Structure 1
Amino acid sequence: MADKEPHWYVAHTYSGYEKKVKMDIEKTIENRNLQDQILEVSIPMLNVTEGEEDDSKVVQKKMFPAYVLINMYLNDDTWYVVRNTRGVTGFVGPGSKPVPLTEAEMASMGLKADAPACEFSIGDSVVVKSGVWEDTTGIVRQINHEDRMVTINIDMFGRETPVEISFNDVEIV
């Protein structure tokens, strides 16, 4: 059970333990020097607007509650580390064999490992291609290369409001 290249795997956790599991796995990676085998631990988040029209705010919600995504080379050590982390109930897959995410599944979550660098910069005008803000234009105010997210200002209820959106969901106007 050894991968020649890294893949994204899904670990099932107790509900509400996603952040704790992520922190514990990252601590174990550091303690056991597994940075070259377990590359990234992610909890995909989705920006959701909550509240009334005049008192709305954007909050982050887990895209997949009770799941943590892990980009790693699957081998006995990495399987053991993840599987035996407190709060992890197992991998998604038949029996105890983890099944990697497909290219289509990764792309839909913005997790393409060899995705191109961001093609826009602060101050650029962009349009949102999909999601809640589809066809909305805004100005890039902040770029987070690590999380592949961009913060844009959009006009909401007559005032500029910052919204964080995935690189995959925006393009230059």
Structure 2
Amino acid sequence: MADEARWYVVHTYSGYENKVASNLEKTVENRQLQDLIQEIRVPTEKVLEVGTDGKRKEVERKTFPGYVIVKMIMTDESWYAVRNIRGCTGFVGPSSKPVPLTDDEVARLGIEKHEIEVSYKVGDSVNIVDGPLEGFIGTVEELDVEKNRIRVVVSMFGRDTPVELELDQAEPVG
């Protein structure tokens, strides 16, 4: 069995995601399993919806209906605790054998947010260190730390061209 916590995907009845998550949290608390089952998440995203009356409103929608993501150390006890939650149909994996998400999948799904230290601000010159414009130098026009985006104006062929990059694709000049 694993000795370090990994992210696993748990399949639930559709519409039971929040119920399964809260029941699992209660079970973890009651059985003192905090060291084995560390985090329980129902992935959601904020979406702008236009109602029948034409008004826009922001609603939170489940990114993966029917699934709950759990960070846990896989042992017989933790497997049993998750598997026996009402509304849970099992782990995602071949023949219900739990398969942890890879680090790449965790990053792509945005489950774990990695804080990126930004040592530049709007107006600073930055060197592009990754992507098709690697080696170019540009000026920071816009910075959005929450969305991990930066807009840099690069001079190409005698024209200023705005380029969208991720925060870690640029570093300060000097």
Name the TM-score class by shorter chain. Answer: 0.5 to 0.7
Deviation at 1:97, TM superposition (A): 0.9
Please list, as runs of the form range in 1=range in 2, the aligned pairs for 1:13-162 lying within 5 A after superposition: 13-51=12-50, 55-112=55-112, 116-117=114-115, 119=117
Seen in structure 2, the aligned counterparts of structure 1 residues 116 and 170 have a Cα distance that, compared at 3 Å, is closer
Please state how far the C-alpha of 1:111 moved relative to its aligned partner. Answer: 2.0
Moved beyond 3 Å, runs of 4+:
115-120
CA distance 1:138–1:56, change in 2 (3 Å):
farther
Cα distance change of structure 1 residues 86 and 170 upon mapping to structure 2, 3 Å threshold: same
CA distance in 2, matches of 1:54, 1:90: 41
* Residue of structure 2 equivalent to 1:160: none
Could you list the per-position Cα deviations for residues 41-85 of structure 1 after superposition, in whole angstroms to 9, with x for gaps in the alignment? Answer: 000101111016962111110000000000000010000000000
Q: Indicate conservation of the 8 Å contact 2:143/2:149, yes or no.
A: no
2-side partners of 1:88 and 1:44: how far apart?
Answer: 16
Distance 1:172 1:5, change over 3 A: same
Supply the distance in 1 between the matched residues of 2:40 and 2:58 (Cα, whole angstroms). 24
- Please report the RMSD computed on the Cα atoms of aligned residues, expressed in angstroms: 2.5
Question: Highest CA radius of gyration, 1 or 2?
Answer: 2
TM-score (norm 1): 0.66
Which amino acid is the alignment partner of residue 32 of structure 1? R
Partner AA of 1:23 in structure 2: S
Question: Does residue 170 of structure 1 match 2:148?
Answer: yes
Inter-partner Cα distance in structure 2 for 1:61 and 1:138:
27
- Offset of residue 118 of structure 1: 5.8
TM-score scaled to structure 2, two decimals? Answer: 0.66
Q: What's the offset of the Cα at 1:117?
A: 3.3
Deviation at residue 31 of structure 1 after TM alignment: 0.3
